[in-house]
Chain A
Amino acid sequence: MNLPFIKKLSTKALIILISSELAAVVTGPPGNGDTPWVGFHDSITQKASFFGLFVTGRWALFYAIGIISYLAVHFFKKLNSNNSAMDSLRSQYSSVAKNKYFKLAAVLVIGVLAILLPTVITDPFWREAMVSQIAVFVLLALGLNVVVGFAGLLDLGFVAFYAVGAYATAWCTGALPMPPIFGSHVNPFFAIPIAIILAMVAGVILGIPTLRLRGDYLAIVTLGFGEIITLFANNLTGITGGAQGTEQVPHFSLHIGPLKYIWGLDPVPYYYLVIGFVILFIFIFYSLEHSRVGRAWTAIREDEVAAESLGINPLKYKVMAFAIGAASAGFAGVMTAAQSNFLTPATFTLALSINILVLVIFGGMGSIFGVVFGAIVIQTITMYLIHTPPAGYQPPDLYIYIGALLVIMMIFRPGGLFPARRRQRADVATSSLENSND
């Protein structure tokens, strides 16, 4: 008898049991406050069919799925670790992926696909979701990526900049109780630069006092700031319209000489507009990442003291990261306000900040491709869950999965699906430095 082996095996089995039953509870039917055990009891004992093959209790089903997925991951790891064929395949793949022409071709293909997308997707729900829930969130994730990924600052109140952009649009177009700057009925197009600038100013105003703080304090202060913005939007009825918000933000329209175009209710024109800005922001952020500024951000992220000793002013570059990240969130705010016509403080919750954070973490902090990919994948899944909800699923349950995903990513793959190359290299050095600091 091999006792240590059996002990190890039973521990593994127990861990899989606990985590799969937890998954059963999370995906199971909801409970209620009068009989607290009902939700748990039903989630575990209800009958469920295993892909139509056989019917059994949910607990057994989830345990089976847990064991199968554990074995699959285990097998895949083994295959990865001692298989020279896989290694050579991977090195071939990475050499192809690094090829300049291949990259260019990939970008072109993705671009063409993005332009052709509205011809493929005709379902009105998905056309709407494509703009207001996916493309706008790509923008938000790109902005947060500058703050969290490039500069390494955990901002949990990012939604505040989104709110500033949206409210600035409503203000400029005369939809708020507060009188607009250029008279009423201004086209939201003119609001774009104002909203972006105001969001950036908000970034600077929030950044200058708070960015001197250590990382964990920064996180909690930004968290509080995000809450306070909502609180003010709710209570300053004379300025923001209070809890009802406003419903009168006009659509975009264009009147330049003979050119006349009005963005109406159809989401497709908005799609092209937002895609244009996504490309613009990707270009700007990519250039910044590979410029002097981007290198300074990396240096500050990896070791602030060392960066400072090399003549980099940490506060200046951190405030810059806040302001630049806020810019794309500000534009996302314009899009949301001008497309949906209405805005209320209830949109800009802490939950939304966490939602944006998970897009960045999932794809890979600091990797633009990863972040865009993560945002598209996660938002598509979210929208799918809203479109065709599985039994027992309520929309707010999404945040259970988001919370779990954050923890799982941090434990198993902290770099995200597509880790940033610069971060990968520096990973070992960072952790040892972090420790010697304490």
Chain B
Amino acid sequence: MHGFLSYLNAHFHALRLEFWGLFIGGIGSGIIYAMVAIGYTMVYGVLRLINFAHSEIFMTGAFAGYFTLNYLIGSSSPTGFSSILLIIVGILAGGITGSFFAVVLERVAYRPLRIRKAPKIAYLISAIGASYFLLNLAAKEFGRIGRGIAQPYQNHTVFTIFGAPVEMYNIIIFVAAGIMLIIVDRLVSKTKLGRSIRSVAQDSETASLMGVDIDRTIAMTFVIGGFLGGAAGFLYALNVGVLYSMGFTPALKAFTAAVLGGIGNLRGAVIGGLILGVTESFTVVFFSGAYTDVVAFAILVLVLMFRPTGILGELIGRSA
């Protein structure tokens, strides 16, 4: 008992020392989870199903950003304005590729089942199949070893918060992801497209009676979710590089974030992502790195068991 207490004590001491560093790292990964979680949550809103293949949207976006940047940068080391431009290009490349694959996925793997009114298990199996197809096709075409991305900026410590360094990378993902999340929130709550997405999420049959084009709305939902997922893949890859199987773990965590915030709820997904990122970052102090994935998974199971509606509650229609 005493041993356990001293163990806890030592680790809490370590946590106090490293609090701000871990917090910044946690926010950084949390905002990536939030972007991916938006894709899960929006698709869940309109289709009532988990898009299992979203992890591969993330991966394709990362690869698109990787190839674009490697092509544009070559062996130069850009600074200043050109770094900003390159990052924007990378985000667009990742996002557009993500959107493209998401729409193709919807068209091929989901729409035929939706027309046939297939049972839910058929959607899940089809999604798993599509995910495995893309994953292993990427492995075949782009090799099975991880690769670092050409850096479009010089990473250095910009300023410190209570002694913890805030790096350029943290600022880039925070600003980029923040802007995209705000745009999506405005898009869903203010525009005509957003209204049609919310109406389909609330009641697709009535929405179609009111003149909403269901097929188009669902496709647009995949476009938005895919853009965020692909762009998140690129931002993630800036730090850790690309690998064909890179999507699995972040996507599982993003799904946890979506459930944590209340699946179908956009702002919930963002909050869930940030909470999950920070929590996970803190647990590194207590467990070895190998078990951080277990922590996220344990959170998922606990939330599903005790509060399946999440922190902010379900349903995209009521979120805005």
Contacts and interface: CB of A to CB of B under 8 A. Distances in A.
B133 A154 contact: no
Contact of A411 (B49, B112, B141, B143): B112
A235 B144 CA distance: 23
Interface in A395-426: 396-397, 399-400, 402-407, 409-411, 414
A208 to B, nearest CB: 10
Interface stretch (A4-12, A29-37, A62-70, A107-115): A29-37
Interface string B112-137: 11001111111111101111111111
A213 B141 contact: no
A221 to B, nearest CB: 6
A154 B117 contact: no
B79 to A, nearest CB: 25
Contacts of A210: 301
B200 to A, nearest CB: 12
B120 A407 contact: no
Contacts of B38: none
Contact of B142 (A36, A221, A227, A434): A36
A224 B297 contact: yes
Interface in A339-396: 350-351, 354, 357-358, 361, 394, 396
Nearest to B137: A400
Contacts, number: 159
B146 to A, nearest CB: 9
Contact of A357 (B63, B109, B128, B290): B128
Nearest to B108: A407
Nearest to B305: A209
A225 B288 CA distance: 19
Contact of B117 (A216, A217, A397, A435): A435
Interface residues of B, number: 55
Given A227-B293, A231-B294, A397 B136 contact: yes
Interface residues of A, number: 58
Nearest to B50: A216
Given A36-B67, A231-B290, A215 B124 contact: yes
Given A154-B124, A221-B301, A407-B108, A399 B132 contact: yes
B252 A220 contact: yes
Nearest to A235: B290
Contacts of B252: 220, 223-224, 227
B147 interface: yes
B135 A403 contact: yes
B255 interface: yes
A398 B319 CA distance: 43
A154 B288 CA distance: 31
B65 to A, nearest CB: 12
Interface of A: 25-26, 30-33, 36, 39-40, 148, 152, 154, 156, 209-210, 212-213, 215-217, 219-221, 223-225, 227-228, 231, 234-235, 350-351, 354, 357-358, 361, 394, 396-397, 399-400, 402-407, 409-411, 414, 430-432, 434-435, 438
24 contacts: A32-B143, A33-B145, A36-B63, A39-B141, A154-B121, A154-B125, A217-B304, A219-B50, A219-B52, A219-B128, A220-B255, A223-B252, A227-B297, A228-B297, A234-B290, A396-B139, A396-B144, A400-B132, A403-B128, A403-B130, A406-B130, A410-B109, A410-B123, A431-B116
Interface of B: 48-50, 52, 63, 67, 108-109, 112-113, 116-126, 128-137, 139-145, 147, 242, 248, 252, 255, 259, 288, 290-291, 293-294, 297, 300-301, 304-305, 308
Give 3 nearest A-B pairs by CB, closest first.
A406-B129, A403-B132, A403-B133
